[in-house]
């Protein structure tokens, strides 16, 4: 049986360094994560989390791999939904590659559970977040103002 996964690839007119900064910056993440921000020191073994504007933790985990400005791997668990939290940890890999004057960003989210509702949830969330990230880096503005 194959592992449930979500894969999203986008090309962004930016540099790997600027994309890396946007993916790891607390302040920049607030702009494209609908007000939530990322917290970590981005070192392998370090804690990682997404924090809602009201201070609640949305997701948490651990940095598994961090290779600036090329790759981040996060052990990731949802914290705000009991149903999604019960599925346990997933793995999110973000790969950054230069590509013909732009940067290719590949986000792959996997979990070792058949018919994962968590993968269903990130399949709806990632496209909105990454569209905002792309728009922000290319135009200075986000595309979507509210989360689903």
Task: Check residue 148 and give its pLDDT.
Answer: 55
142 to 46, 69, 73, 133: CA distances (angstroms): 29, 22, 25, 7
- Distance set, CA 147 to CA 11, 32, 36 (Å): 22, 10, 11
* Domain-wise residue ranges, the chain: 5-139
Tokens standing for residue 61: 């985990």
Region 10-35: mean pLDDT is 97
Helix axes 16-24, 117-139, angle to 10 degrees: 130
Q: Is 100 left (phi over 0), alpha (psi -120 to 50) or beta?
A: left
| CATH 3.40.50.2300 is right for the domain spanning 5-139 | no
Model confidence over 77-126: pLDDT tens digits?
999 999 999 999 999 999 999 999 999 999 999 999 988 999 999 999 99
Per-residue pLDDT tens digits for 126-136: 999 999 999 99
1 pLDDT above the threshold of 60: no
pTM confidence score? 0.93
């Amino acid at each position: 049986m194959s592992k449930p996964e979500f894969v999203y690839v986008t090309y962004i007119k930016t540099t790997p360094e600027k994309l890396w900064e946007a993916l790891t910056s607390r302040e920049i993440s607030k702009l494209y994560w609908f007000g939530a921000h990322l917290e970590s020191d981005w070192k392998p073994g370090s804690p990682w989390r997404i924090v809602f504007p009201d201070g609640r933790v949305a997701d948490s985990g651990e940095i598994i791999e961090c290779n600036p400005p090329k790759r981040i791997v996060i052990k990731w668990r949802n914290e705000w939904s009991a149903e999604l939290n019960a599925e346990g940890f997933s793995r999110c890999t973000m790969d950054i590659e230069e590509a013909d004057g732009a940067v290719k960003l590949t986000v792959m989210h996997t979990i070792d559970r058949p018919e994962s509702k968590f993968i269903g949830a990130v399949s709806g969330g990632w496209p909105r977040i990454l569209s905002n990230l792309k728009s922000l880096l290319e135009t200075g503005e986000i595309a979507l103002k509210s989360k689903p």
